[in-house]
Chain A
């Protein structure tokens, strides 16, 4: 969401706010359509198979987030720089040709649309998977909407890219949560009975947290060790 805000800000400042905001609105409508289409389709699947599919998806996404966050936290991968991304996007936008479609600057519209759609797709998948497993897609969508509103308000208040947001810490927390639920539901879907049923969830969370922190420490030591 933070990256999407940076892209839209860069387009708004350099190419005009109309195209940037229309592109953002169109992408949000497309994301809502994806959630509206996928959500009811998933509820048709039996709960056991649904948990297996959702668990596998959450594990794939969660481990992607966690892997990147661990590599960044341990110094093996550069931490994202929102200010640099903003300046790069703005520089490209200034030199791009002006072409109008339906009264809109096409470059500003398409870059904003793609930025919000691609960044929002993961959020849409999280909404659909969590919502369908817990039987309340509207509530999950409302949570994602609230997060988007907070990011937009923060962007308006700061009047620029959210460079001071601890983005890697947020990505790390999201990675830990997705991996935890992925393990829990994936195992249930595969036929596992957790000791204590839902009470096992905090135990899985603690395990993922401790293991990932151990990996950060180990990789950081490895990086700082003399060659």
Chain B
């Protein structure tokens, strides 16, 4: 059971859990922004780019 859970964790979350968490937060914030009168289409691409960069920086030991 533990190995089964570990497999799915590795499969979905991968090497950096912060990326999955960042995506969840980014989508939630996008939904909040979309519910206002402010255009929200620009928010997710920029947030995804920022999440990726932070993960890469960590992996490349900046």
Contact = CB atoms under 8 A, between A and B. Distances in A.
Q: Decide if the interface of chain B is mainly helix, strand, loop or mixed.
A: helix
Interface in B40-62: 40-41, 43-45, 48-49, 51-53, 55-56, 59-60, 62
Contact of A66 (B39, B52, B59): B52
Contacts, number: 99
Residue among B12, B35, B45, B48 with the highest chain A CB neighbour number at 10 A:
B48
A59 B23 CA distance: 7
- 10 closest residue pairs by CB, A with B: A191-B34, A190-B31, A64-B14, A190-B30, A187-B44, A76-B60, A211-B49, A59-B23, A192-B40, A192-B34
Interface in A40-84: 52, 55-57, 59-60, 63-64, 66-68, 70-71, 74, 76-77
A110 to B, nearest CB: 15
Interface residues of A, number: 40
B4 to A, nearest CB: 13
Interface residues of B, number: 31
A200 B11 contact: no
Nearest to A223: B60
